[in-house]
Amino acid sequence: MTQYLLTRPHTLISLTAFADRYQSAKSSISEDLAIIKEVFEEEGLGELHTLAGAAGGVKYFPKMGSAEALSIMNNICRQLEQPERVLAGGYLYMTDMLGQPGLLSDVGRMFATAFAHLDIDVIMTVETKGIPLAHATAACMNLPVVIVRRDNKVTEGSAVSINYVSGSNKRIQTMSLARRALKEHARVLIIDDFMKAGGTIQGMMDLLFEFNAKVAGVGVFVESGELESEERLFEDYVSLAKLTAVDMKSKQTTVIPGNYFAEHVN
Amino acid sequence: MTQYLLTRPHTLISLTAFADRYQSAKSSISEDLAIIKEVFEEEGLGELHTLAGAAGGVKYFPKMGSAEALSIMNNICRQLEQPERVLAGGYLYMTDMLGQPGLLSDVGRMFATAFAHLDIDVIMTVETKGIPLAHATAACMNLPVVIVRRDNKVTEGSAVSINYVSGSNKRIQTMSLARRALKEHARVLIIDDFMKAGGTIQGMMDLLFEFNAKVAGVGVFVESGELESEERLFEDYVSLAKLTAVDMKSKQTTVIPGNYFAEHVN
């Protein structure tokens, strides 16, 4: 039962399904669920919600406790501060970290914790480095992912394209999304790897407007805090880490836990 | 213990670690592991391997039984055959399917089954649609992912670029990989979403040669079987599905399970 729940997050499973599967009485299933619930909470794996009634059942919400999250994120910040990560333009090389399954599953669980209370239909990101983060979050929240392309590929069918101005370097760029990728009125969680002024995310928001879809939330892995706050294009987002200083000469950077840790104290 | 193992595939966990964690004697840990092993095998979740000795412990290999895999893949083939998926050039729209966490975790488990016996350091794919498949496989195999770019982004540092000829439409294209993304002599599993003649994968192989790395295996989600076999650039790959016929007029396609189901009978 533990594995069945763990591999089906954000999915309502009826007691009848469990009773049939394990050929047990519903009463003993309930007792077992109570034990599992306790263990999940003790181990900081998340919450098990029980819904009573005929349409009822049990749903597993993967979450991460704030102490565990902070300890993991402090560790990630130290990795991000390695001097060899500093690239031209004040960017940080973090592609290698975004390829680590352990880090991705931790980050996915943090975003799933931050956005668990929201009503979301789909997770959106833009290629390329946001994709693993979006999918790691999607796996924890049982949500589909749509990927905004920076070009318009033949294999996607008809698409909507928009131009947007990257906020930090003021260049005009194009992004597009297949017409069939998103339903009207979808509630969308935007996930991306890095945000400076927020031009790319603002572009995704403009694209959502074209689809009559709604932004339910924005989560970024690292925000650059080197801007005056009036330069930021929008205010409502969750960041897991914040790059507060880059010294290009000495290649010294400072990375601290993001606003996630200010707002989401359990 | 079940959840601990499930969330740490392909990772050696010592009995001492379990004994400390659950404050139990190693003998009772061993007994519990024997039960978990049985349940995992009954439920088709994979194998639990025990290594004896001081450096020993237990390792979980996520796998999928061939009957379950075939039933899931037949279902996927029916979805791929939907007429509205046919796009110009004999391509299939499948981006929506590659955004579904359930499908991805099934496919990841199939690739993890096919390549479990190989000695692999890293999984490689090319942006964009191969990325979720590579990460789903990586999550099951506890391996890092490197993503080959179709351009050369500023945020990656120095990179190696090669030109390759896409086998089906004979166009010359460029792909590149950050110099620091891959160690010398790494053993690499290539994962991609779609293969016609194999030009893109051949390009990745050529790129690996530049890094002195080695191809350990190739896995594709869908192969196009509409070619004469001499047109295929290489022979040694695992495909999960095979597109055998596309009628552009009637938009009828036929998709059958791939060579995975011929070769990997458990």
Q: In angstroms, what separates the C-alpha of B64 from chain A's closest C-alpha?
A: 14
Tokens of A248: 């290009």
A10: left (phi over 0), alpha (psi -120 to 50) or beta: left
For B118, how many CA atoms within 13 A lie in the half-sphere containing its CB?
22
B144 touches chain A (CB under 8 A): yes
Each residue's pLDDT tens digit, A19-78:
999 899 989 999 999 999 999 998 889 999 998 887 789 999 999 999 999 999 999 999
**B202-258, pLDDT tens digit by residue?**
999 999 999 999 999 999 999 998 766 677 788 899 999 999 988 888 989 999 999
pLDDT 10s digits, B5-14: 998 999 999 9
Residues of chain A contacting B45 with CB distance shorter than 8 Å: 3
Burial label for B264, CB within 10 Å (0-12, 13-18, 19+), is middle
List CB contacts of B212: < 8 A, sequence separation 6 or more.
B184, B185
B13 touches chain A (CB under 8 A): no
Interatomic CA distance for residues A236 and A218, integer angstroms: 7
- Record the tokens describing residue A254, joined without a space: 């400072």
Does the pLDDT value for residue B152 go beyond 70?
Answer: no
End-to-end CA distance of chain B: 27
A13 DSSP 8-state letter: B
Considering only CA atoms, which of B202, B216, B146 is closest in space to residue B173?
B202
Query: Is a pLDDT exceeding 70 seen at residue A152?
Result: no
How far apart (Å, rounded) are the C-alpha atoms in residues B8 and A1? Answer: 18
Integer Cα distance of A258 and A241 in angstroms: 4
pLDDT at A153: 64
Which band of pLDDT confidence, cut at 50, 70 and 90, is reported for residue A265?
Answer: very low
CA distances for A52 relative to A17, A57, B199, angstroms: 14, 7, 55
Give me the pLDDT at residue A197, please.
86
More confident residue, A173 or B185: B185
Q: Answer whether B170's CB lies under 8 Å from B233's CB.
A: no
Tokens (6 digits) for A37: 């619930």
Question: How far is residue A111 from each of residues A85, A138, A243, B91, B103, measured CA to CA in Å?
Answer: 24, 9, 19, 34, 21
Predicted confidence (pLDDT) per residue in A166-181, tens digit? 766 678 889 999 999 9
C-alpha distance from B144 to closest chain A C-alpha (Å): 5
β strands within chain B, DSSP E: 46-51, 57-62, 86-87, 91-92, 122-126, 145-148, 159-165, 172-178, 187-195, 214-224, 238-247, 252-257
Residues in chain B: 266
Mean pLDDT computed over every residue of chain A: 91
Cα–Cα distance, A39 to B1 (Å, whole number): 11
Q: In the CATH scheme, what is the code of domain B1-62?
A: 1.10.10.10
Determine which of B72, B109, B137, B145 to mutate to test the interface with A (most A C-beta atoms within 10 Å): B145
pTM above threshold 0.90: yes
Q: Is the CB of residue A101 less than 8 Å away from at least one CB of chain B?
A: yes
CB-nearest to A128 from B6, B104, B149 is B149
The pLDDT of residue A37 is 94
B132 and A142: CB-CB below 8 Å?
Answer: no
ipTM: 0.90
What's the first-to-final CA gap in chain A, in angstroms? 27
**Cβ atoms B216, B188 nearer than 8 A:** yes
> What average pLDDT score do residues A148-159 get?
78
Domain parsing of chain A, residue ranges: 1-62, 66-261
d(CA B171, CA B87): 19
CATH topology of domain A66-261: Rossmann fold (3.40.50)
The residues, ordered by sequence, that sit 6+ positions from A211 with a Cβ below 8 Å of its Cβ are A160, A177, A182, A184, A186
What is the C-alpha radius of gyration for chain A, rounded to an integer number of angstroms? 20
Residue A172 burial (CB count, 10 A): 8
Q: Where are the alpha helices (DSSP H) in A49-173?
A: 66-80, 101-114, 130-141
Residue B90 CB coordination number (10 Å): 16
CB contact under 8 A, A93 and B2: no
Burial of B38 (0-12, 13-18, 19+ CB in 10 A): exposed
A98 touches A132 (CB < 8 A) = yes
Q: Which two tokens stand for residue A174?
A: 């194009």
Residues of chain B with Cβ-Cβ distance to A178 below 8 Å are 93, 95
Can you tell me the distance from the alpha carbon of A173 to that of B216, in angstroms, rounded to the nearest whole number? 38
B266 pLDDT band, cuts 50/70/90, is: very low
